[in-house]
Amino acid sequence: KLRSFEKTPSDDSQHINKNQAEEAVSSNKEFILHKDEAVPRGEKMELTSNRQALEEDAHAMKTQDNKAHQNNLKQLCRICGVSFKTDCYKRTYPVHGPVDDETLWLLRKKEKTATSWPDLIARVFKIDVRGDVDTIHPIRFCHNCWSIIHRKFSNTLCEVYFPRNSTMEWQPHSPNCDVCHTTTRGVKRKKQPPSVQRGKRVKTTGERAQLNRGVKNQAQINKNLIKEIVNCKDIHLSPKLLAIDYPVDFVKSISCQICDHILADPVETTCRHLFCRTCILKCIRVMGSYCPSCWYPCFPTDLVTPVKSFQNILDNLSIRCPVKECDEEILHGKYGQHLSGHKEMKDRELYSYINKGGRPRQHLLSLTRRAQKHRLRELKRQVKAFAEKEEGGDIKAVCMTLFLLALRAKNEHKQADELEAIMQGRGSGLHPAVCLAIRINTFLSCSQYHKMYRTVKAVTGRQIFQPLHALRTAEKALLPGYHPFEWKPPLKNVSTNTEVGIIDGLSGLPLSIDDYPVETIAKRFRYDAALVCALKDMEEEILEGMKAENLDDYLNGPFTVVVKESCDGMGDVSEKHGSGPAVPEKAVRFSFTVMNISIAHGNESKRIFEEVKPNSELCCKPLCLMLADESDHETLTAILSPLVAEREAMKNSELLLEMGGVLRTFRFVFRGTGYDEKLMREVEGLEASGSTYICTLCDATRLEASQNLVFHSITRSHAENLERYEIWRSNPYHESVDELRDRVKGVSAKPFIETVPSIDALHCDIGNATEFYRIFQMEIGELYKNPDVSKEERKRWQLALDKHLRKKMNLKPMLKMSGNFARKLMSKETVEAVCELIKCEERHEALKELMDLYLKMKPVWRSSCPAKECPELLCQYSYNSQRFAELLSTKFKYRYEGKITNYFHKTLAHVPEIIERDGSIGAWASEGNESGNKLFRRFRKMNARQSKVYEMEDVL
């Protein structure tokens, strides 16, 4: 807001006005006293009243003058001082207040935030109008200044110029006020005495020409003056040095408009003129903030670098070197580098040693060590003196730093980095652990790595990669058996020695001559050592988790570690043909994953670690590898029994392990969930998959499960299976085979690994996809109409389906279904494709609904945390499973009357109960172990030694 009109403008003006008033009063006083001589003394009272009247008149005059001054200010532009009468359209704009619509539209277009005139005036003219007083400053500005503001923000080139070299400086009203004397012609910057008005006379043509010539001469004088100001002829290049005869206009476009030299470090003004940076900055400093070409306002902060393409053109200009006896043509961009070469040569010549006869002087590096010492003895003495004075006598550090600086000065940064690494004790070679990681991740065998190591060392002359023995030493720190630990109480039947690495799979197994001959090669870690190694790998995550839960980092536990166990057989792994015993070319891999770690704090349990990717091969730690068939019960039990014994011992003991400098206590909970159905039945002593007792979680028979598809609960457990095995073995009630089998519900062998009754998500996927694949074939052959069909007919349906899936879905037929094939097969697109081979619309709808329900149920058992990832589908699961079962028993009765597949039963009957118990099915699946199987094959193929005695050790 403007300050009030009544306020006194300033102390100076107040003082001047006071003096004027006093002078007026004193003159009036004198006049009255002269008259007073003739007046009788009795009339003095009248004189006093007259004096007061005169003072009031003087104040009124002063007020009137101020009002007139203020009215005159209203006719002038606040910024440039020009009178508004010069504009025939009388276009003016308020200095204070919001911008007009046209300017607002422009600002929005250019994405500027300013919306008021004071902001814009401050930005364009560098004038702060917020502190204006209405008795001193005008309150409006002219259209010309408005146009300059517009031109500043819109990059259009228009003929608008600022009429003066600097902004107006406004003064308070005074007797010799510029504003009141020159209102009609606007305020001028400098007061000049008005010239005497002479009579006009007609100018001749010759006089006009002379006048024009004078103007041109003046412009030339100004240009020469500017050149003298910048004085850059010794540092900037003349266009005459251009190697090619370019067009004149092109030369102008690449020349500075101040000095006429080729642009050096070019900058662009807001009015789009180009100058050398030093030239324009000197001009602005001397002549004011205006463009020397068009006198448009220009400030150092407005200067910007031109576009990249223009700079590329400038850098690629060919110029001749101005140095004598060097006519080399060089690019403008590389001129500085070329010139520095000349300077170095000149310096070298200046300081070159003058050989006064005798043998020619040899280069320093070609001398013997003794000669080098002799030549540099003076320098060495000086360096030694400096080192003792400044660096505590460290001559080596001074010399190496000098060498480092010399290399950097010559742009030899690579060599300098290597020297710096040596100075810091890092060296240029890689750490052995890094070399080991490179060897493993690139699947190089030891011999392949050794060849690479020797080649690199021979070619570069430096030991970048580390030798194999260094890798083996580094490997020991990463493998189990490196960290010391203790069990309280000590583990039963397990050695207290902690330095145990890779051991034979049969170690810990007491064998007599009459025992089953074990023809296998197995390598393993001791279970407790492997767990310790895994925990030490996770040390940082555990400590970070404690911080995240606001727990003191000195808490020693006990920590509860939940471990997922997985075991899976691999089919044919016959890739090597080494010497050794005849062993089956099948393998079994037992592994574990640390799923979560929690600590009891107060009355609650706080989880400080949870595995984010529980099905990754990176967190699935291998424990035992064996070349054996998973169906060979005796071999499997012989190899895994020591592991099981260690596991049972660890359940009843606590681990003492140093972590983060504190001895902490860990307890372990083992959950065997990563087993497919075949291996689950094997280790829990159940009959094979084709048994009448179809489920590993409940006691239902195939007939019962087909009649009651949904409503079952988990009843089986490891302890119950052991009891049932005892009944099966001893037959205490002397029952027949069928009666006994019905009593033990399919338990026919001794369970030897404790598992958690669950569903393996991956194999559930594969089993269900296999069943859908059969349904598709039957629907193509319309089995619901004609159940009696030959094998050849069924084979034809399969071929038709395979051909169509290959054509439409790019699915190649497989002998044994894989996880990837199952994922691609179970989709709406597949059903759409299959429906093309089915004629009946009603069957289309049934198939589509069946697939839709399945795709709604699948995420519930596949996801790692269904309550977070798919809560709606989890809530709908019971409804969807019942509808799915209803479809199977009605539309697909021809297939599921009196029978049901194992995985369909588990999917429909047990999923909600398992999720309620464990929180997830997908996270506890065997997929991580399956991924590890791929690594087994790859390492066995690429990495292992030929001898089968060492092969498993290398792979493990």
- Chain segment 277-287, per-residue pLDDT in tens: 989 998 888 88
Q: What pLDDT band is residue 707 in, cutting at 50, 70 and 90?
A: very high
List phi, psi (to 5°) of 564: -95, 130
Domain's final residue, options 712, 730, 757: 757
d(CA 479, CA 100): 76
Q: Give the rounded distance of the alpha carbon of 601 from its chain centre.
A: 36
The first and second tokens of residue 603, run together, are 């009355």
Is residue 729 within a helix (H) or strand (E), and if so which, with residue range? helix 718-730
Domain assignment of residue 695, yes or no: yes
d(CA 314, CA 953): 65
Domain assignment of residue 616, yes or no: yes
377-416, pLDDT tens digit by residue?
Answer: 999 999 999 999 888 888 888 898 898 898 888 888 888 8
d(CA 527, CA 650): 9
What is the domain extent for residue 7?
Answer: 1-187
The first and second tokens of residue 257, run together, are 């408009």
Q: What share of the chain is helix, strand, coil (3-state, %, to 5)?
A: 50, 10, 40
- Residues 781, 743 share a domain: no
- Residues 314, 254 share a domain: yes
- Residues 695, 599 share a domain: no
Residues near 36 by beta carbon (within 8 Å), at least 6 away in sequence: 47
Q: What is the mean pLDDT of residues 520-535?
A: 93
- Residues 815, 863 share a domain: yes
DSSP 326-358: ---EEEGGGHHHHHHHHHHHHHHHHH-----SS
- pTM of the predicted model, to two decimals? 0.57
Residues 295 and 269: beta-carbon distance below 8 Å? no
Domain assignment of residue 105, yes or no: yes
- Residues 153, 105 share a domain: yes
- Residues 685, 635 share a domain: no
Domain assignment of residue 898, yes or no: yes
149-184, pLDDT tens digit by residue?
Answer: 888 887 654 444 555 555 678 888 888 888 887 654
Q: What are the helix (H) ranges across 356-412?
A: 369-375, 377-390, 395-409
pLDDT at position 86 is 81
- Residues 509, 607 share a domain: yes
Please state, as a whole number, how many other Cβ atoms lie within 10 Å of the Cβ of residue 61.
13
Beta partners for 83? Answer: 76
Residues near 237 by beta carbon (within 8 Å), at least 6 away in sequence: 261, 262, 264, 319, 322, 332, 335
- Closest among 495, 608, 500, 502 to 562, alpha carbons compared: 608
Domain's final residue, options 408, 442, 476: 476
pLDDT at position 465 is 92
d(CA 370, CA 377): 10
pLDDT at position 13 is 44
DSSP 858-897: HHHHHSS-HHHH-HHHHHHHHHHHHHHHHHHHHTTHHHHS
- Residues 888, 832 share a domain: yes
Domain assignment of residue 314, yes or no: yes
Residues 92 and 143: beta-carbon distance below 8 Å? yes
Query: Residue 471: exposed, middle, or buried by beta-carbon count in 10 A (0-12, 13-18, 19+)?
Result: buried
- Residues 74, 115 share a domain: yes
Q: What pLDDT band is residue 570 in, cutting at 50, 70 and 90?
A: confident
- Residues 919, 780 share a domain: yes
Residues 884 and 855: beta-carbon distance below 8 Å? no
Domain assignment of residue 437, yes or no: yes
664-701, pLDDT tens digit by residue?
Answer: 999 999 999 999 899 999 999 999 988 999 999 999 99
- Residues 518, 404 share a domain: no
d(CA 278, CA 635): 87
Instruction: Give the number of domains in the chain.
Output: 7
Domain assignment of residue 149, yes or no: yes
Domain assignment of residue 930, yes or no: no
**pLDDT exceeds cutoff 80 at 425:** no
d(CA 309, CA 319): 19
CA quadruple 289, 292, 297, 303: dihedral sign: negative
- Closest among 939, 949, 932, 952 to 622, alpha carbons compared: 932
- Residues 568, 466 share a domain: no
Domain's final residue, options 714, 740, 757: 757
